Structure 1
Amino acid sequence: MKTIKLLILIIAGMILLSRCDDFGSVNVDPNKVSTPDTRYLFMYTALYVPNFAWVGNYDPWNQLYPQYIAERLNIQYSNYAMTEFNTSGYYRRMIRNLDDIIQLCSDEKTKGATWVQAFGKIENQIAVARTLRAYAYMHLTDALGMIPYSEANKALEGLYTPKYDTQEFIYTDLDKELNEAFTQFDVSAGLDGTFDIFYKGDMNKWKRLNATLRMMMAIKLSKVAPAIGKTRFAKAYADGGITANTDLFKYAYLPENANANPLWENMILDGRWDFVPSATIIDQLKAYHDPRLKAYTVPNENGEYIGLPYGLRKDDLPSWQTGSYCNFHPKYYKQDAAITIISPSHALLLCAEAAVRGWIGADAESLYKAGIEASFSQHELEYDLDAYCAQQEVEFAGTEEQKIAKIAMQR
Structure 2
Amino acid sequence: MKKTAFIFVLVSMLSACTKDITKLNIDPKNPVNVPSYSLFTEAERSITNTVTSASVNLNIFRLIEQQWTETTYLNETDYQITYRKQPDAIWSAIYSGALTNLDRAKKLIPTDVNDAGTQKNEIAIADIMEVYSYYYLVTTFGNIPYSQALDINQPFPKYDDAATIYSELLTRLDADIAALNPSAGSYGNADIIYGGIPANWAKFANTLKLKMGITIADFDNVKAKAVVEAAVKAGVFTSNDDNALFAYVTTPPNTNPVWVDLVQSQRHDFVGTSQFIGLLNPNTATQDPRTPYFFAENKNSVYLGADNGSGSGGIVYSNYSLPSGPLLTPGPPTSSQPKSIGSVTNPDFPGLLLDYSETEFNLAEAVERGYNVGGTIESHYDAAITASITYWGGTAAQANAYLLLPNVAFATATGTTPLQKIALQEYLALYNRGWDAWIVNRRLDYPALVAPPNAYSAFPVRFTYPISEQNVNVVNYNQASTAIGGDKVTTKLFFDTKGAY
TM range (shorter): 0.7 to 0.9
1:56 offset after TM fit, Å?
Answer: 4.7
**Residue type matched to 1:380 in 2?**
G
Give the structure 1 partner of residue 340 of structure 2. Answer: none
**Residue type matched to 2:209 in 1?**
R
1:24 offset after TM fit, Å?
Answer: 8.0
Gaps of 5+ in 1: 1-20, 106-110
| 2:392 maps to which of 379, 388, 403 | 379
SS at match of 1:99: helix
Give the structure 1 partner of residue 424 of structure 2. Answer: 409
Instruction: For 1:9-408, list aligned pairs within 5 A.
Output: 23=20, 26=23, 29-31=26-28, 32-59=30-57, 60-83=59-82, 85-86=87-88, 87-105=91-109, 111=110, 113=111, 115-117=112-114, 121-155=118-152, 158-287=153-282, 289-314=287-312, 317-318=313-314, 320-321=315-316, 323-327=318-322, 328-330=324-326, 331-363=343-375, 364-382=377-395, 383-397=397-411, 402-408=417-423
In the alignment, the residues of structure 2 paired with residue 63 and residue 176 of structure 1 have an alpha-carbon distance, to the nearest angstrom, of 31
1:103 offset after TM fit, Å?
Answer: 2.0
CA distance change for structure 1 residues 34 and 298 in 2, over 3 Å: closer, same or farther?
Answer: closer
SS at match of 2:358: helix
In the alignment, the residues of structure 2 paired with residue 272 and residue 52 of structure 1 have an alpha-carbon distance, to the nearest angstrom, of 19
In the alignment, the residues of structure 2 paired with residue 284 and residue 298 of structure 1 have an alpha-carbon distance, to the nearest angstrom, of 16
Q: Is the 8 A contact 1:54 1:63 kept in 2?
A: no
Q: Would you identify which runs of 4 or more consecutive aligned residues in structure 1 move more than 6 Å?
A: 398-401
In the alignment, the residues of structure 2 paired with residue 249 and residue 218 of structure 1 have an alpha-carbon distance, to the nearest angstrom, of 19
**Residue type matched to 2:55 in 1?**
N
1:403 offset after TM fit, Å?
Answer: 1.4
SS at match of 1:340: strand
**Residue type matched to 2:344 in 1?**
Y
SS at match of 1:198: coil
CA distance change for structure 1 residues 273 and 329 in 2, over 3 Å: closer, same or farther?
Answer: same
Give per-residue Cα distances to partners, 1:242-268, cap 9 Å, x unaligned: 221111112222111212222322343
SS at match of 2:97: helix
Q: Is the 8 A contact 2:122 2:187 kept in 1?
A: no
Gaps of 5+ in 2: 1-17, 327-342, 427-501
Give per-residue Cα distances to partners, 1:96-117, cap 9 Å, x unaligned: 1111122223xxxxx1x3x345
In the alignment, the residues of structure 1 paired with residue 346 and residue 249 of structure 2 have an alpha-carbon distance, to the nearest angstrom, of 10
TM-score, length-normalised on structure 2? 0.71
In the alignment, the residues of structure 2 paired with residue 101 and residue 170 of structure 1 have an alpha-carbon distance, to the nearest angstrom, of 22
TM-score, length-normalised on structure 1? 0.85
**Residue type matched to 1:200 in 2?**
G
Give the structure 2 partner of residue 18 of structure 1. Answer: none
1:277 offset after TM fit, Å?
Answer: 2.2
In the alignment, the residues of structure 2 paired with residue 284 and residue 252 of structure 1 have an alpha-carbon distance, to the nearest angstrom, of 30
1:30 offset after TM fit, Å?
Answer: 4.9
Give per-residue Cα distances to partners, 1:8-66, cap 9 Å, x unaligned: xxxxxxxxxxxxx9848646625243333111101111221224532353333122111
In the alignment, the residues of structure 1 paired with residue 129 and residue 358 of structure 2 have an alpha-carbon distance, to the nearest angstrom, of 18
Q: Is the 8 A contact 1:352 1:367 kept in 2?
A: yes
1:119 offset after TM fit, Å?
Answer: 12
Q: Is the 8 A contact 1:219 1:354 kept in 2?
A: yes
In the alignment, the residues of structure 1 paired with residue 216 and residue 45 of structure 2 have an alpha-carbon distance, to the nearest angstrom, of 30
Give the paired residue count: 379
SS at match of 1:332: coil
**Residue type matched to 1:329 in 2?**
G
1:95 offset after TM fit, Å?
Answer: 0.5
**Residue type matched to 1:294 in 2?**
P
1:401 offset after TM fit, Å?
Answer: 6.7
In the alignment, the residues of structure 1 paired with residue 46 and residue 79 of structure 2 have an alpha-carbon distance, to the nearest angstrom, of 23
Give the structure 2 partner of residue 7 of structure 1. Answer: none
Q: Is the 8 A contact 1:119 1:195 kept in 2?
A: no
